[in-house]
Amino acid sequence: MQYSFFINLTHAGSLVFGSLILLWAISLKFKDASLIDIFWGFGFLLVAVACLVMSQDNTLYTTILTALPILWGIRLTLYLAKRNIGHGEDKRYIAMRKRAERKGLSENNWRLRTLFTIFFGQGLLIMIISAPILFASAHASNSPEITIGPLVYIGVIIWIIGFLFEAIGDAQLSTFMKKNSNFKGKDADKPVLNLGLWKYTRHPNYFGNACIWWGIWLVACNSNFGWATILSPLLMTLLLTRISGRDLLERQMKQRSAYASYIEKTNSFIPWFPKK
């Protein structure tokens, strides 16, 4: 099993980091480091495809295990590509570039920094979070007789709930943003989305994303020692709530007057009925 795991890790890692180098070169041409954001879901898709291709026996279990991140990766990549392409570099990367310029960092050094911190940094996260797929597919490859247990069914149900929350939440946000794209007032007076799923949680898309990876982990737990990859959903949840997701976004949103009332009435992450 160890041999199969390292085979999966080597092939998936080569595919992910090779793609990142190509994407980095494209980002230099267009001076747009935010292209990396579109790659996030696609990177997990590549890992799952590599594991599926390297599997000695594509059993029903292996198919389910790899289909979940592939379907999620396709949807998220298409959504982010449609949302981001043609809108220029994200302000986060513009700010990073300006800080580097103020510190006297040369253009060549800045380019190398983006490769190793932004692009390869995301690649490392993808490989760590993909541990359940890498590990469980390796085990399944050596145990073709593996059966579909209750954890697989529970994991798939949680994944479906998460997928719907993320997809519907993103669609509702896109509609809201389009409807208010011509808002002319002050930034503090911008309206806040509090309808649909956003009535029950301030971040339905992030909640859905977390559920997706807890579901994948549960499917992986059907294999021996799959539970040992629990760092994967924990890290994804941490990213979504503390590092680059909810907390970062809410620091920016709190300047809006309507957002304070929204915070008081609406659960931060786990959906529940709004407070009266």
**Tens digit of pLDDT for each residue in 169-196?**
999 999 999 998 887 767 667 889 999 9
- The 10 Å CB-count burial string (b at 16+, else e) for 222-261 is bbeebeebeebbebbbebbbeeebbeeeeeebeebeebee
Sorted by where each begins, the domain ranges of the chain are: 1-145, 148-276
- Cα–Cα distance for residue pair 73/229, rounded to 1 Å: 20
Task: Tell me the per-residue pLDDT of 66-123, one tens digit each, with 9 for 90 and over.
Answer: 999 999 999 999 999 999 988 888 888 888 888 888 888 888 898 999 999 999 999 9
Amino acid at 222: N
Task: Answer whether 0.95 is exceeded by the pTM.
Answer: no
Amino acid at 272: W
User: What pLDDT is stored for residue 105 in this prediction?
Assistant: 86
User: What pLDDT is stored for residue 3 in this prediction?
Assistant: 60
Within 10 A of 208 (CB to CB), how many other CB atoms are there? 25
Higher pLDDT, 267 or 249: 267
Task: Tell me the per-residue pLDDT of 223-256, one tens digit each, with 9 for 90 and over.
Answer: 988 999 999 999 999 999 998 888 878 887 877 8
**Three-point CA angle 136, 229, 132, nearest 5°:** 35
How many percent of the chain have pLDDT more than 70? 98
Tell me: pLDDT of 204 over 80: yes
User: What pLDDT is stored for residue 149 in this prediction?
Assistant: 94
